[in-house]
Each structure stands twice: as structure tokens, then as C-alpha cells.
Chains A and B, each alone.
Chain A
Amino acid sequence: MTPERWQQISRIFKSAISLDSEARAAYLKAQCSDDDSLRAQVEELLASHRRAGDEDFIGGLAAEAAAPLLIDDDAAGPTRPTLTKGQQFGSYVVLDSLGAGGMGEVYLARDTRLDRTVALKVLSSDISQDKRRMQRFRQEAKVASSLNQPNILTIFEFGEVDRLTFIATEFIDGETLRHHLHGKRLKLPEVLDISIQVLAALDAAHDARIVHRDIKPENVMIRRRDHVVKVLDFGLAKLTEKKVSQDEEESEAATEFKTAPGFIMGTLNYMSPEQAQAHAVDVRTDIWSTGVMIYEMVTGVIPFSGATTSHTIVQILEKDPVPLTKVVQAPAELERVVAKAMAKNPDERYQTAKDMLIDLRSLKKRLDIDAEIHRTSSPDTPAHEVDTDPGRRIVLLLALIAMAVVTASIFAFSVWRSRRSSPSSSVTTPVAPPVERTLTYWITVQKFKDGQKYQAPFTLAGEINFEPSYHIRVHIRSPEQGYLYIFNEGPPTAAATTEYVVVFPSTTANNNSSLISAGQEVQIPEKSWLEFDQQQGVEKLWLVFSKDTVAELESARQAASPQTKNLIADAGQNKVVGDFLAKNSIAKPESEKGPSLTTLKSPGNLLVYAIKLEHH
């Protein structure tokens, strides 16, 4: 933009800003009579002005917003290890530094053996020096990770390189709940969604007798692509505790929290009364912390927060926080749940994460039903709190359109079916040969060990018990021409909508075309092997074989791309796919199982079937 243009725009902007909308339009028209682009630029700037005001853009101060940037230098202490970009560290190559904290540094790294990206946490040596404590932490963290609960961050490896202790974990592209909160409140459905997932993680961990001890928004990560919540750093809190007694085994309970300068005091705000007093802690300390966290999500306020450490501790021990419903509009049940979780006496709290989880789930269910009733009973009043967010409304609208599309196609399908199956309607016409779809598939398995192929590949028919070392190829063939779609559905997660990965067609499979010819053998993937998340549960490969193109699947797969690793990155489209599969799938197609082939037959012009791969 030339300075002259800028001056011109700013002159008009300056005057237009003080006018009401009517006068403004007239003024702009007069000022930019023959220059549409000038007018557009001014209008955009005026719109930005309004939005910047609404969002309080740079309304605070830079130093406040970015204050945490300043702490790092002192926080990590003198023994902070530093790896540099490109450096080889054991079998990892450091890609980038992700940040530093009191316990060490975190890097983005590539595991060269398994060719995957990991987050590498290198613990500072003063923390890792205590071998015995390290050992206990390793045990706990490993157990938690091995639970394979989708809401617990997976740990890949513990190790030591050049006397530096490190932990390699899965890399989550997302943000912490702390960052997500950013000092504001969350809407109720989101609060419930996050809380339920955190409690699901705790429930699994507690069953394995693992207490997290440090539940706080910094330790809860929300994945960007699907909003799946991951609880980080199980067992890590142990490392920050400092034993007071000489006899370590006996006085497990007696702990004192390290308060080195720069060490994050935020931890304190979520600490239970028993923790603050260095008494014995059990699973109920996590219940407390979760309660505090929910309180914060709902109100935007941390319930126990004093000017200094000791003030905060006094509050934790003595203060009854203002009831939720007095701070914001919230259901009375939620207030009860939170108050129960934050009972000073552990015996009066929820005794298990499961109990709390059940209460929150039923609350969620009730709210969902209420919202649904509200929506259907008064479609013209957009009064319900849940729907005031325009973004959400668009998503809802898309979902509704998507449902309409699916409904229409189901209707068409059933009309076609009833015609075919109703003998009375075809009395005078000769009976057409039965229409059916036939698809044959088989699966080749290649085992991998340490990133290398291991043993010769073998072929399986039907469903398989899948092991982490298994990489597979799926082969499909049909005697008929038709349109083939294959989707991968992972094990169920706590996420609201199931997500699908488009396995076929893709840019690397059948030139992105769903049409296959009679007798054509399709191999997926064409070159490499399919690898699934190492997550326990049933993985499904949905096969859809249709005589005609399936419009909704064609449009749904547009929402997937190599950038998203073929994951359908759109909730509405995932729902379209999910609904389509649910409505049309045939539980038990007629199948002929050969020693190495399975042939599926389904009446009609459409065959929908899920191959189940069970993880162990």
C-alpha cells in the first residue's frame, strides 16, 4: 500500500468511525464515489475496528500477555541440559525446542528407528539424580501409559543418553487447557466434555492404583484436530516432592513441596488440603484437583488463590469458595458435583473418579436432552445458551443439512428396496434377476520389529486380532464394476463424533477415483503398509461398494486431504459418514470364507460392511 493510499484510507476511516451506520454508508459513498476498492478497504478496516473492540484485541499490555516468556531464564536452574536443533540424541534427532520449565526441557524430535515424531522431555539432572525416586516415577508413568486409555498421554520410552534422563512421549498437536482457558470461562458443554475425559483418564489410572497428584490445567492437553483431551505427566508429580523424613519407605506421606525460585506456584492452587498439609494422599486428591479445575473452567476464577504460598494454603484449608451458581449461571447439579469434589474432608468427597464421572455424564445427558427439546419445540427462538455461539450454529446447521441429505438417500434407498421386495407390485412384470453386490477381500500382514520387516508376510481372511507390530495391506476385488469407498474408524473415544480416515480412494490410491472396474484388484495402500494407532480396542475398516456413486461420501471425502493424513477434518462430514454407515451396514452379509479370502454378498445396489481389527 502506498503512503498516499494509507493517508486517504485513514482520513476517511477517521471521519466514518464517528458516524452511525446510515450516515456512514452515505459518507463512504460520497468519499469513494468512483473507487470501489477504496471503499472496500475502508469498510474492512471499520469491520476490523469493531471486531478488535469486541475481542479486546491488544487491550491489555504486552508484558502481561507474554509475562511467562520472561520466567524461563531463571526457572530451569543451573543444570539445565540443552540440545540443539539437528543434534543426534540417542536414536532421536532433535527437530526443535518446544520450551523449558522447572523440570527440564522439551523438544520436538524424530525417532529414527520408528520414524515417528515424538515429544522429548529431558529432565534436568538435579531432578533425575535421585535414582530411587526416578525408578518409582518410571514405574508409575509406565503403568499409566500402558493402560492405553485414550485420554492418557502415551509414553514411548524412558532412557538415558550421556547421563541425561529423557522421556519420549507422543506428540500432541494442540494446546493445554491453561492456554485454552486464557483467563476466560468455558461454555458448559465444553466444560463437561473436558471434565468427563479427564475423569475417564483418572478412573483408569486409579483402577491401576496410580494417583496423578498434580491435576491442573497445565497438565491437560486438548488436541487440535478432534478436541480429544490428554492428561499428561502421570507420576511426574512424585519427582517434585521432597522427602522430609529419613526413612523413605515409611514416610511416603511426609512430603514437602519444593519451592525453588521460579518454580511454578500455580501447582499450589489445585493442591488438596491433605497435600497442602503434607499428609498421605490417595486417589481422592485427584478428585479435589479436578473439582478445582472444573470450578475454574466454569467461572474463570481459581477458587483458592492467595497473594503468597502461605495465603493460598490457608485458603485451601479453610476457605469455602463462593458456590458456582453464585458466580455464574450454572446448573445446581454441577454446583453439587463440584462442591462434593472440593469437600475439605476426603471422606466427604467422591470416593472414586468413576462416581464423579457418572454424575457428570448424567448431567451432560440431561443437558443434551434439554437442548434437544428446546431446539425442536421452539425452532424460532435462538434463546438457548448453548446455541448463542454463531460458529456452533453453523456446525449445527451443517449437521442438519447433512442429516437431511442422508435421510433423503435412505428414503430413496428404502423406496427402491420396498419396490423390489414387494411381489404384488411386480405381478405383471417379469422378475428381474436378483440384484446384489459382491466383494471379495483378503488381508496381508507384515510384522515389523524395531522399524524393520520381520518374518515373511502372511495372508488372513476376515477379522484379525491385531498386534502392535502388525502392518497390513487390504486387497479387494469384485466381479462387478462399482464405486468403492473405504474408511477407517478408530477405537471409540470420548469425542463427540467418530472420525473417519479415508483409506480409499485417495491421491495415492486409484488416482483419487472411487470407480473400480470388474475384476480390478485394489491393494491398499499401493506401496507401503497400513499402520494403526497403537490404541487398544476395535479398529474398523468400513467397506462401501455401490453400483452408483454415493454423493454424500464423495463430498465427505473432500474434507480429507494428505495434509490431514486423509482424516476427515470436519465434524459435520464425519457425521454424514457415520450416519451413512450406521444406516446401511449389514451386520452379517452372506459371506463365503475361503482359507484366505472372504467374499461378501449383499442384496441391493449397496454393500456396506465393517472389517474388524482387534488390537491387543
Chain B
Amino acid sequence: MTQSPRQHEITALLAEWREGNQSALDELYPLVYNELHRLARRYMSRERKGHTLQTTALINEAYVRLVDQKNVQWANRSHFFAISAQIMRRILIDHARRHAYAKRGGGAQQVSLEEVAIVATDQGRELIRLDEALKTLGEMDPRRSQVVELRYFGGLNNEEIAGVLHISENTVTRDWNMARAWLYQQLTGSGAN
């Protein structure tokens, strides 16, 4: 693969970010967003059964395209996945907001010419609610919220999440259990809080 100037740039930005430069993230964000978004849509427009979308495959592809493979470091890769999870969350929520027919609360979905519209409407609304609950969780407990983000939006497995967050796999499992139970409670309205 020929190396583009963009790969250099992104690789460098990732390294900077890893070393604690937050403004590197600001520069990185739109670049990764655009690439992931483009790839996601391309994936979706292919003929495929049931419109399944493999997030990890997609992020991997973006990673290979965007990051200089000669200077690959595991740390870079896990950082890339961490930011990609966040971005996938943004992409999906952006789309969901555009689509969601949230006006009637838990209310109506309608008739449409195509499955796309209908499925999108409802799933979009659910996704937005999840996103909001996740934000609330993030305020109380940033780490648990991040575990959910990495797993659900980023498609990372426990081992990868443990690597990104520098915690043990057992802790990842425990964080996930707690966070999922709490999110479930929030979304289904069960429970007192």
C-alpha cells in the first residue's frame, strides 16, 4: 500500500494524542469521522443480507487506510479504536437524530415506502435514548460508560477494551454488567430511579 500524506498526519496525531495532547484529538476527529462515515455508507449500499454491519471490520478498514502501517504500534491501534468507537457513536446518533420521529415520545412510527425509513425511525429513537442514558452514566461513572461505548459502538472485545482502558478483563466484565443493568433500567423505566 502506498503511503499517503494523510496517513503520516493521522499517525502523528494519534501519537500526539496518546502523549496527552488533546488538541490532536480535535484534528483527528473530523478526519476519522469522514472516513468511517464514508466506509459505513459504502458498506451499507453493497448488496448484503439483512444489512449487517461489522463495526470492527469497518474500523479495521479505516485504520488500515488512515494509519501508517509501517509505524503500527499496539497502543496506536487501541487508541484508534477508542476514538473510532466514540465516532461511530456520533455517526449513528447523528443519523438517528435526523431520522427519529421523536415528537410523539414513545409514540408513532409510520408507513413508509421502504423498510429503511421505518426501521430507521424506530431504531433511531431507541439509539438516541440509549445515548442519552449513556451520557448520564458518563457523568456518574465515566469508565463504565466508556466500556459500553467501546463494546457496543466500537465493537471491541473485552481483551481490547482492557487494553484501551488499562484495566483487567475481569473488571471490564464487571463494569459491563453493572452498566448494562443500569442502562436497561433507564430505558425500560423499571426501577425507582
Chain A contact residues, CB within 8 Å of chain B: 1, 3, 6, 10, 13-14, 17, 37, 40-41, 44-49, 51-52, 55, 57-58, 61-75, 95-104, 106, 108, 119, 121, 153, 169, 171-176, 178-179, 183, 217-218, 221, 224, 230, 232-233, 236, 261-262, 264-266, 302, 305-309
Contacts and interface: CB of A to CB of B under 8 A. Distances in A.
Contact of B116 (A3, A51, A183, A264): A264
29 contacts: A1-B193, A6-B141, A10-B178, A13-B178, A14-B178, A45-B191, A47-B191, A48-B181, A51-B188, A52-B183, A57-B184, A63-B153, A66-B96, A67-B52, A69-B92, A70-B53, A70-B95, A71-B51, A72-B116, A72-B117, A75-B116, A99-B120, A103-B113, A175-B109, A175-B122, A176-B119, A217-B115, A230-B111, A264-B116
A44 B192 contact: yes
A266 B141 CA distance: 42
B190 A67 contact: no
Given A6-B141, A96-B103, A264-B116, A52 B184 contact: yes
A72 B48 contact: no
Contacts of A236: 113
A71 B116 contact: yes
Contacts of B144: 10
A98 B110 contact: yes
Nearest to A305: B49
Interface stretch (B16-24, B37-45, B75-83, B160-168): B37-45
Given A101-B112, A119-B110, A236-B113, A68 B47 contact: no
B116 A66 contact: no
A58 B193 contact: no
A380 to B, nearest CB: 31
Contact of B47 (A3, A65, A98, A265): A265
Closest 8 CB pairs of A and B: A99-B117, A101-B114, A49-B181, A218-B115, A52-B184, A69-B95, A44-B191, A67-B53
Interface string B126-165: 1100100000000011001000100011010000000000
Contact of B115 (A41, A49, A74, A178): A178
Nearest to B140: A6
Contacts of B191: 41, 44-45, 47-48
B115 A62 contact: no
B158 to A, nearest CB: 14
B25 interface: no
A68 B50 CA distance: 9
B180 A179 contact: no
B126 to A, nearest CB: 8
B111 A68 contact: no
Given A64-B52, A74-B45, A307-B47, 14 more contacts: A47-B191, A57-B184, A58-B148, A62-B89, A63-B155, A67-B44, A69-B96, A69-B120, A70-B41, A99-B118, A103-B114, A171-B111, A173-B108, A176-B115
Contacts of A74: 41, 45
A106 B153 contact: no
B53 to A, nearest CB: 4
B152 A61 contact: yes
A215 to B, nearest CB: 13
A43 to B, nearest CB: 9
B177 interface: yes
B4 interface: no
A61 B109 contact: no
A67 B88 CA distance: 11
A233 B110 CA distance: 13
Contact of A47 (B99, B112, B126, B190): B190
A303 to B, nearest CB: 12
Contact of A68 (B101, B123, B140): B123
Contact of A102 (B47, B113, B155, B193): B113
B110 A106 contact: yes
B123 A65 contact: yes
Given A69-B99, A99-B118, A307 B48 contact: yes
A106 B121 CA distance: 11
Contacts of B91: 70
A68 B113 contact: no
B49 A307 contact: yes
B172 to A, nearest CB: 13
Contacts of A37: 192
B118 A179 contact: yes
B109 A179 contact: yes
B58 interface: yes
B105 interface: no
Contact of B51 (A67, A169, A232): A67
A262 B144 CA distance: 37
Nearest to B127: A66
Contacts of A121: 112-113
